[in-house]
C-alpha cells in the first residue's frame, strides 16, 4: 500500500538499443496441439472418458488372463452361478466364466471398433482427398456416388452383407466399412476444399510448392482436427453396430464372445432371475459408448478455436 | 421451389434404384440356390420350381424381372411360407411398425425439445445437468440394452407393463420408450446447443429491450429459430428409429416388419429379406425427401439462395 519505492541511480541509465533482445520470445511457444491438449485436460467429462477408455483397453488386454479360466471352457456342474470368489462375474448357462468372457468380449468389441474406424479413416481420406484435389467433374461424380450410397440405411446394409458373409470378426469389419467410410470422405473433401482456398496454401502454390508438400505441410495437419473427432465418434458407432449384429445372432458366434452376444445370451436368463448376466455386458457397452462419446465431444470443443477463452 | 422438389425427387428415385440393385447383387451373390437344401426333391420338380421363380434365366434377366416386379409393388412369394407372399407380410406388419415408430418419434420429439429448451434456459444449473445426463444416457445405452432393462424391471419384477407381444395400448409403452431414447437424446442435445446460440443473438436482446414478456421472447423468437437444425436431423433420426425397430420388435416379439426382417434373416428367406430391405429403404428415402422439402419450405433463407442459383 504505502510501501516506499526505492529510487536508485540505475533506473535512469538509458536502455540498451538492442532490437534482437526486444524481439526475443521469452515464453515457450504453445503449439496448436499442446493448446488443444491443455483445453481437453480442463474438460473433466472428456478426461473421465479418456481414463475409462484406457482402463477398458488395459482390461481387454489383461482381463482374460486374470483368474485362470478360459472363455470357452464349459463346466456344467457350475451353471448360472452368481458372482462369487471363484467366478468374479458368475457363470453363464453353459458354466463358462463370465469375467473372462466379458473381457474377452471387450477385446473383440474394441478391436472391431478400432479397426472399423481406422479403415473408414483411410478409405475416407483417400476418396475424399482425391475428390477434392481433382475437383471439377471427377469431384462431382465421386460425390454423387458417395451420396447415393450414403442414403442407403447403414445398419440395414451391414445386416444384409452379414447375411451373405460367414459370421466372424473380419466379415463384420468388412460389412461395416463397405458403407461406413462415406461420412469421413465427405468430411475430408469439405475440409480440403475449404483449406485449398486459404491464402497460405495459395502462397505455397505460387512459391512453387509441389502437391505432396502442400498436402504434407498444410492440408493434412490443418484438417486433422475434425477428422480426429470423427474417428473418435466412429468407434462407438462401430461397437454399437457390432453389438446389434451379435445381438441378432449375425455377429460373433459362440464360443467366442462380444458384448452384443453376451447380452443376447443373457436375455433368456433374466426371466429366471439371473440379472447380473445381462447387467455386466450391458454396463460395459454403455460405459464404452459413454467414454468415446464424451471424449469425442470434448475433442470437438477443444479443437474449436472459437471456444478459446 | 418446384424445380428443387423435382430435383430432389429425381435423386430419391436414383437412390432407391441403387439400393434395389445393390440389394439384388448382394442377395444373388449367395452361393447355391434356395431349393438346393431339400435334397429328396425329384429333378423335374426342381426344374419346375426353378422355372417358376425364373431362377433358370441369366442373372441380368432376373434382375430386370425383379425391377419390374418392384415397380409394380409386388415383392414376390415367401420361400418359407407356402401361402403368404412378401406383400401379405408387409400389409400385416406395416400398420404395427408404423404405430410403434410414430409413437416413438412423437415421444422423442416432444420430450427431446422440452429437455433441450429447459437445459438452455437454466444453463449450468441443475435442470441443465439433469437434462444432459438423460441425453448422455440416451446416447450411451444401446436400445436393446435399454429394452432388456425395461423388461427386467418394469415388466418382470414390478409387472407394471406386459413383458412382450402387441395387443393393447399398455403393450406399446415399453417398446416405444426403448426406441425413443436415442433420438430423444440427440434432439435434446441439439436443441440445447441451438437454443444457446439463438439466445445470444442480437434480435433476442432487441425483443427483450422492447419489453416483450419472457415467454413471448422464448416461444416466438428463440424456439422458432432454434428449431431449424433439429428439423434437418429429423430425417436421419427417423432412419435410426426405423432400423432400430427391428431389434426392438425382435426383443418384444412385436409382429411388425422388423420382426419379419429378422425372421427372414434367420430362415434365410431371401425374397422376404430382399422385399423388406427394399420396402424399408423406400420408406426412409421418402421420409428424408419429405424432410428436405419441408425444411426448405419452413426456412425462408434457403428459398432465397435456391432461387438465385
Nearest by CB: B139 against A247, A271, A289: A289
Cell numbers linked to B149: 432393462
* Ramachandran bin of B159, using left for φ above 0, alpha for ψ from -120 to 50, beta for the remaining angles: left
In this predicted structure, the answer to whether residue B145 has a pLDDT above a threshold of 60 is: yes
Nearest by CB: B243 against A156, A267, A282: A156
Mean of pLDDT values over B147-166: 75
Where does chain B have alpha helices with state H? Answer: 2-28, 43-52, 59-71, 86-121, 126-140, 143-150, 169-199, 202-209, 214-216, 224-252, 257-267, 270-298, 300-308
In A, minimum Cα distance to B136 occurs at: A290
User: Which pLDDT belongs to residue B309?
Assistant: 34
- Strand-pairing partners, residue B85, are B77
* Ramachandran bin of B158, using left for φ above 0, alpha for ψ from -120 to 50, beta for the remaining angles: alpha
Residue B110 near residue B188 (C-beta atoms within 8 A): no
Asked if A151's CB is within 8 angstroms of B266's CB, the reply is: no
In B, minimum Cα distance to A236 occurs at: B140
- Strand-pairing partners, residue A91, are A97
Q: Which residues contact A97 (CB under 8 A, 6 or more apart)?
A: A67, A69, A70, A71, A73, A87, A89, A91
Cα A224 to Cα A216: distance, rounded to the nearest angstrom: 11
In B, minimum Cα distance to A239 occurs at: B142
User: Which pLDDT belongs to residue A309?
Assistant: 42
Cell numbers linked to B238: 427417423
Nearest by CB: B284 against A148, A153, A266: A153
Confidence of residue B303 (pLDDT cuts 50, 70, 90): low
More confident residue, B207 or A69: B207
Mean of pLDDT values over B284-291: 81
Q: pLDDT, tens digit, for every residue of A147-175?
A: 777 777 777 788 888 877 877 788 888 88
Confidence of residue B308 (pLDDT cuts 50, 70, 90): very low
Helix (H, G, I), strand (E, B) or coil at B62: helix
In B, minimum Cα distance to A274 occurs at: B152
Question: What's phi and psi for B125, nearest 5 deg?
Answer: -125, 180
Cα A167 to Cα A240: distance, rounded to the nearest angstrom: 17
Where does chain A have alpha helices with state H? Answer: 19-23, 32-42, 44-62, 98-134, 136-151, 154-164, 169-180, 182-196, 199-206, 211-214, 220-247, 259-270, 275-303
Put simply, whether A109 touches B (Cβ < 8 Å) is no
In this predicted structure, the answer to whether residue B39 has a pLDDT above a threshold of 70 is: no
Cis? peptide before B83, omega within 30° of 0: no
Kindly list the residues from chain A whose CB atom is less than 8 angstroms away from the CB atom of residue B266.
249
ipTM of the complex: 0.74
Question: Which of A248-262, B25-39, B181-195 has the highest mean predicted lDDT (pLDDT)?
Answer: B181-195
Q: Which residues contact A243 (CB under 8 A, 6 or more apart)?
A: A109, A251, A258, A259, A260, A263, A285, B142, B144
Place of cell 406386459: B162
Place of cell 433439429: B230
Task: Give the residue numbers in B contacting A (CB under 8 Å), as ranges.
Answer: 11, 14-15, 18-19, 22-23, 26-27, 29-30, 136-137, 139-142, 144-145, 148-149, 151-152, 156, 239, 242-243, 246-247, 250-251, 262, 265-266, 268, 273, 277, 280-281, 284-285, 288
Helix (H, G, I), strand (E, B) or coil at B77: strand
Query: pTM for the full model?
Result: 0.78
Asked if B265's CB is within 8 angstroms of A156's CB, the reply is: no
Residue B181 near residue B209 (C-beta atoms within 8 A): no
Cα B180 to Cα A297: distance, rounded to the nearest angstrom: 22
More confident residue, B108 or A232: B108
Residue B242: Cβ within 10 Å count: 25
Cα A128 to Cα A111: distance, rounded to the nearest angstrom: 25
Whole-number mean pLDDT of chain B? Answer: 80
Helix (H, G, I), strand (E, B) or coil at B170: helix
User: Which pLDDT belongs to residue A179?
Assistant: 81
In this predicted structure, the answer to whether residue B306 has a pLDDT above a threshold of 50 is: no
Helix (H, G, I), strand (E, B) or coil at A97: strand
Q: pLDDT, tens digit, for every residue of B212-249?
A: 888 888 888 888 888 888 887 887 788 778 777 878 88
> In the 8-state DSSP scheme, what is residue A217?
I
> In the 8-state DSSP scheme, what is residue A249?
T
Mean of pLDDT values over B8-18: 85
Question: What's phi and psi for A181, nearest 5 deg?
Answer: -80, -10
Stretches where chain A sits below pLDDT 50 are 308-309
Q: Which residues contact B156 (CB under 8 A, 6 or more apart)?
A: A270, A271, B163
Put simply, whether A240 touches B (Cβ < 8 Å) is yes
User: Which pLDDT belongs to residue A155?
Assistant: 77
Amino acid at each position: 500500500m504505502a510501501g516506499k519505492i526505492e529510487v536508485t541511480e540505475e533506473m535512469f541509465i538509458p536502455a540498451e538499443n538492442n532490437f534482437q533482445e526486444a524481439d526475443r520470445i521469452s515464453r515457450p511457444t504453445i503449439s496448436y496441439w499442446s493448446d488443444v491438449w491443455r483445453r481437453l485436460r480442463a474438460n473433466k467429462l472428456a478426461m473421465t472418458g479418456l481414463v475409462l477408455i484406457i482402463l477398458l483397453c488395459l482390461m481387454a488386454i489383461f482381463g482374460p488372463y486374470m483368474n485362470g479360466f478360459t472363455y470357452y471352457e464349459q463346466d456344467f456342474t457350475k451353471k448360472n452361478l452368481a458372482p462369487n470368489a471363484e467366478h468374479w462375474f458368475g457363470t453363464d448357462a453353459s458354466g463358462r466364466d463370465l469375467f473372462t468372457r466379458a473381457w474377452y468380449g471387450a477385446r473383440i468389441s474394441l478391436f472391431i471398433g478400432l479397426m472399423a474406424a481406422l479403415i473408414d479413416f483411410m478409405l475416407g481420406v483417400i476418396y475424399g482427398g482425391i475428390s477434392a484435389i481433382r475437383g471439377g467433374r471427377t469431384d462431382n461424380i465421386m460425390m454423387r456416388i458417395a451420396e447415393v450410397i450414403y442414403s442407403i440405411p447403414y445398419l440395414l446394409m451391414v445386416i444384409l452383407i452379414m447375411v451373405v458373409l460367414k459370421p466372424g470378426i473380419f466379415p463384420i469389419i468388412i460389412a461395416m466399412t463397405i458403407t461406413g467410410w462415406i461420412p469421413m470422405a465427405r468430411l475430408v473433401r469439405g475440409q480440403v476444399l475449404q483449406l485449398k482456398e486459404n491464402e497460405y496454401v495459395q502462397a505455397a502454390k505460387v512459391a512453387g510448392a509441389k502437391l505432396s508438400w502442400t498436402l504434407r505441410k498444410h492440408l493434412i495437419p490443418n484438417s486433422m482436427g475434425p477428422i480426429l473427432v470423427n474417428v473418435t465418434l466412429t468407434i462407438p458407432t462401430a461397437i454399437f453396430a457390432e453389438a446389434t449384429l451379435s445381438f441378432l445372432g449375425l455377429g460373433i458366434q459362440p464360443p467366442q464372445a462380444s458384448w452384443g452376444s453376451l447380452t443376447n445370451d443373457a436375455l433368456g436368463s433374466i426371466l429366471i432371475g439371473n440379472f447380473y448376466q445381462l447387467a455386466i455386458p450391458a454396463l460395459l457397452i454403455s460405459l464404452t459408448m459413454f467414454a468415446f462419446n464424451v471424449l469425442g465431444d470434448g475433442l470437438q470443443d477443444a479443437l474449436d478455436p472459437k471456444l478459446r477463452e | 421451389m418446384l424445380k428443387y422438389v423435382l430435383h430432389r425427387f429425381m435423386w430419391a428415385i436414383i437412390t432407391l434404384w441403387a439400393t434395389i440393385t445393390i440389394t439384388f447383387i448382394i442377395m444373388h451373390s449367395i452361393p447355391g440356390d434356395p431349393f438346393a437344401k431339400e435334397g429328396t426333391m425329384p429333378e423335374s420338380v426342381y426344374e419346375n420350381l426353378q422355372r417358376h421363380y425364373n431362377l433358370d434365366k441369366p442373372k441380368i434377366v432376373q434382375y430386370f424381372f425383379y425391377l419390374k416386379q418392384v415397380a409394380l409393388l409386388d415383392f414376390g412369394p415367401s420361400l418359407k411360407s407356402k401361402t403368404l407372399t412378401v406383400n401379405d407380410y408387409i400389409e400385416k406388419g406395416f400398420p404395427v411398425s408404423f404405430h410403434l415408430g410414430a409413437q416413438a418419434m412423437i415421444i422423442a420429439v416432444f420430450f427431446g425439445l422440452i429437455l433441450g429448451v429447459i437445459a438452455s434456459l437454466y444453463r449450468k444449473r441443475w435442470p441443465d445437468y439433469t437434462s444432459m445426463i438423460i441425453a448422455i444416457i440416451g446416447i450411451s445405452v444401446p436400445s436393446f440394452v435399454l429394452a432388456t432393462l425395461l423388461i427386467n424391471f418394469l415388466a418382470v419384477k414390478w409387472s407394471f407393463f406386459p413383458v412382450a407381444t402387441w395387443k393393447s395400448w399398455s403393450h406399446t409403452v415399453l417398446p416405444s420408450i426403448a426406441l425413443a431414447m436415442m433420438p430423444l437424446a440427440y434432439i435434446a442435445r441439439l436443441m440445447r446447443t441451438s437454443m444457446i446460440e439463438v439466445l445470444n443473438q442480437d434480435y433476442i436482446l432487441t425483443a427483450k429491450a422492447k419489453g416483450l414478456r419472457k415467454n413471448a421472447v422464448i416461444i416466438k423468437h428463440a424456439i422458432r429459430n432454434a428449431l431449424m437444425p433439429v428439423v434437418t436431423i429429423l430425417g436421419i433420426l427417423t432412419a435410426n428409429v426405423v432400423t432400430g425397430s427391428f431389434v426392438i420388435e425382435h426383443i418384444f416379439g412385436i409382429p411388425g416388419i422388423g420382426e419379419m426382417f429378422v425372421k427372414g434373416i434367420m430362415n434365410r428367406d431371401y425374397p422376404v429379406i430382399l422385399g423388406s430391405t427394399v420396402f424399408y429403404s423406400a420408406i426412409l428415402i421418402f421420409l428424408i425427401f419429405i424432410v428436405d422439402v419441408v425444411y426448405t419450405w419452413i426456412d425462408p433463407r434457403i428459398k432465397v439462395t435456391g432461387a438465385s442459383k
